[in-house]
Amino acid sequence: MSAHDIAIEPHHGGTTKLFAMVWVYLLVLTGIEIFLAYERLAVVLMLVILIGLSLVKSALIVAYFMHLRFERLGVFLLLIPAMVFCICMMLIWMFPDSLRLMELRPH
């Protein structure tokens, strides 16, 4: 396989219809999140639902709009550990402050 063959290798991407459907799903999930914000649910239940919906939305964005669904497995395996590391670092940085603020809140 020459360099020329690699350069003209077709890239399998999504169609406009596919991206429109993903956009509609994201819009519906955002509407559900807004609806849940006005409901009186237990705080833990609300957070679990909202974080779950946000994870689904972020997975759709990464997979389709950042085109990772159409990339090779190596790129995927490179980015996922980096993302997990970044999330862990953010949690390590944010949790102590959030716990401190929770203790300062008037009861």
Contact 54, 8 (CB under 8 A): no
Q: What are the pLDDT digits (tens) for 24-59?
A: 999 999 999 999 989 998 888 998 899 899 989 988
Q: What is the pLDDT of residue 11?
A: 54
Q: What is the pLDDT of residue 13?
A: 66
Return the top range by mean pLDDT from 1-5, 26-30, 94-98: 26-30
Answer yes or no: do 55 and 14 share one domain.
yes
Structure token pair of residue 72: 């090779």
What total of structural domains would you count in the chain? 2
Would the CA dihedral through 20, 22, 26, 32 be positive or negative? positive
Give the residue among 34, 22, 11, 30 at the shortest CA–CA distance from 62.
Answer: 22
Answer yes or no: do 38 and 5 share one domain.
yes
Give the residue among 19, 8, 2 at the shortest CA–CA distance from 70.
Answer: 19
Answer yes or no: do 54 and 82 share one domain.
no
Q: Is 64 exposed, middle or buried (0-12, 13-18, 19+ CB in 10 A)?
A: buried
> What residue numbers bound the domain in which 63 lies?
1-71
Answer yes or no: do 82 and 63 share one domain.
no
Contact 11, 67 (CB under 8 A): no
